[in-house]
Amino acid sequence: AQKVTQAQTEISVVEKEDVTLDCVYETRDTTYYLFWYKQPPSGELVFLIRRNSFDEQNEISGRYSWNFQKSTSSFNFTITASQVVDSAVYFCALGFNPGGGADGLTFGKGTHLIIQP
């Protein structure tokens, strides 16, 4: 069965601090995809990144970076020099194996990130 664990329910930091959101996943598939989505207070879900299981290169996009480690089944997300606009709920998600009968993504429960000015 697919499972995504985001152990941090809520994180609160002061603006300009760096913060890392943890994501641990479980899957029996050798081919899979991992995602991060952002849900700001307005409620919509915003795609941040997709990573496939064969590409363990870390990725950096501006203040955002992602660390994918298959050895520990983790896909952590770091925000450098956080800003108030980064305040949101962040979801990590794992792509289903279509052959398993269901489709779509398995989501973690989310981490509520609060950036204080």
Partner 1 sequence: NAGVTQTPKFRILKIGQSMTLQCTQDMNHNYMYWYRQDPGMGLKLIYYSVGAGITDKGEVPNGYNVSRSTTEDFPLRLELAAPSQTSVYFCASSHTRGLGGELFFGEGSRLTVL
Q: Which residues bind partner 1 (CB under 8 A)?
A: 4, 9, 31-33, 35, 37, 42-45, 47, 50, 52, 91, 93, 95-98, 101-110
Shortest reach from residue 16's CB to partner 1, in Å: 28
Shortest reach from residue 30's CB to partner 1, in Å: 12
Shortest reach from residue 8's CB to partner 1, in Å: 13
Residues paired with residue 101 on neighbouring β-strands, in sequence order? none
Bridge-based pairing state of the strands 111-116 and 10-14: parallel
CA-to-CA separations, 65 to 21, 32, 43, 84, in angstroms, rounded: 11, 20, 23, 18
The residue (of 51 and 86) whose beta carbon lies closer to partner 1 is 51
SS3 state of residue 103: coil
